[in-house]
Amino acid sequence: MKQLASLPSDIKQYLIITGNYWAFTLTDGALRMLVVLYFHQLGYSPLSIAMLFLFYEIFGVITNLFGGYLGARLGLNKTMNLGLVLQIVSLLMLTASQDWLTVVYVMAAQALSGIAKDLNKMSAKSSIKMLVASGQEGTLFKWVAILTGSKNALKGIGFFLGGLLLTLLSFKGAMLLMAIVLSLIWCFSIVALKQDLGKAKNKPKFSEIFSKSRAINILSAARLFLFAARDVWFVVALPVFLSQTFNWDHWHVGGFLALWVIGYGIVQSVAPTLFNLEKGMSVAKETVTWALLLSFVTLLICFALYFQWSTSVLLIVGLLIFGALFAVNSSLHSYLIVSMADADGVSLDVGFYYMANALGRLLGTVLSGWIFQAYGLIACLAISFSFILLTAAISTKLPKKL
């Protein structure tokens, strides 16, 4: 405790923000798994279960767009704490009796959870910009990567936590326990976080929610297609394919994907070691190179399935390589947006960027179900490959240097 008390103020704030984000992420991952498993037990169809998350994604787009404005006006501590409150409300809504848990009701609760998640994420990512001294690009990349990577690893652990809580407690009991834990963290966060963190000196106008930076607009467009490329085959198509083709049961599919997400998060955390920022990094060259590597692996997986080359082995190996390369791409993008963002009102730029991220997830999710049902997994992979090539093409327009 003495060592913690003696840490510099910016380190303490970073640890508080990270701990806050970790706690939220665990409940977010657990909530997703709890909803899937519980409503599957109740006899809901896969399409109905997917619909429960529709508002979660849609409101993520809206929240990132307007959340950045709120962060710049009110301060990032307030938007982060607001995200915690909304998640607590969402969890408490789901403690209602089974008769209340209709599709519409759960969609409303998930909408609140989606707003909460993106408020929390936008606030956490933006806050790092305010805590790292200007010019310390290596430190900035490291802090962003640790926050982002640990979040994804914990989300995977949250999947396991959700299954465990449903086994040990009832669905209602699991929701109530998570709401109580988050309430305690919220109380601590209110006291411990700086009151003016990320608050813009010049109050931004509402019209400034759209980025005026060419570089950030280009990076946002690249991010949109990057995440659409992942989710177009990962969200719906892949779990169903693993279940139907490999005869994996629900727990095998869920466990494998949870481990994939954990590994993905670990690679994100160590991604900065692949770049030498001291010598200066060519932004356009690095983003294009890593996107092309990802596209090559995606194309190989597509060919392996089309020509039926040891499908089970190559798909699993390809998935692992895809996950590692995607993690590096994602970590690089996450660092670049924080680095490029204007320090005064940083959340405006970060919020706009993650709006594009959420829009890409939404596009990929919708296409994943439709394309897989109509044409199969190979078609989903072909579209993923095309989206990654678009990401690379767009990234060529990024500046050479920061």
CATH architecture of 7-395: Up-down Bundle (1.20)
313-360 pLDDT, tens digit per residue, is 899 999 999 999 999 999 999 999 888 877 665 667 787 888 888 889
Q: What is the mean pLDDT of the chain?
A: 83
CA gap 299, 157 in Å, rounded: 30
Identify which has the larger pLDDT, 253 or 302: 302
* Model pLDDT, residue 196: 62
* Model pLDDT, residue 212: 67
Q: Where are the domains of the chain?
A: 7-395
192-206, 231-245, 350-364: lowest mean pLDDT where? Answer: 192-206
Model confidence at 189: pLDDT above 70: yes
| Residue 8: burial class (beta carbons within 10 Å; 0-12, 13-18, 19+) | exposed
Which of the residue ranges 110-119, 175-184, 255-264 has the most confident prediction, judged by mean pLDDT?
A: 175-184
**pTM of model > 0.85:** no
Q: Residues in the chain, how many?
A: 402
Own/partner long-range contacts of 375-380 (Cβ < 8 Å, ≥24 apart): 377/233, 377/237, 377/238, 377/241, 377/305, 378/302, 378/305, 378/306, 380/232, 380/233, 380/237
* Model pLDDT, residue 391: 97
* 3-class secondary-structure state, position 181: helix
* Model pLDDT, residue 10: 65
Pick from 73, 49, 47, 61: which is nearest to 114 by CA? 61
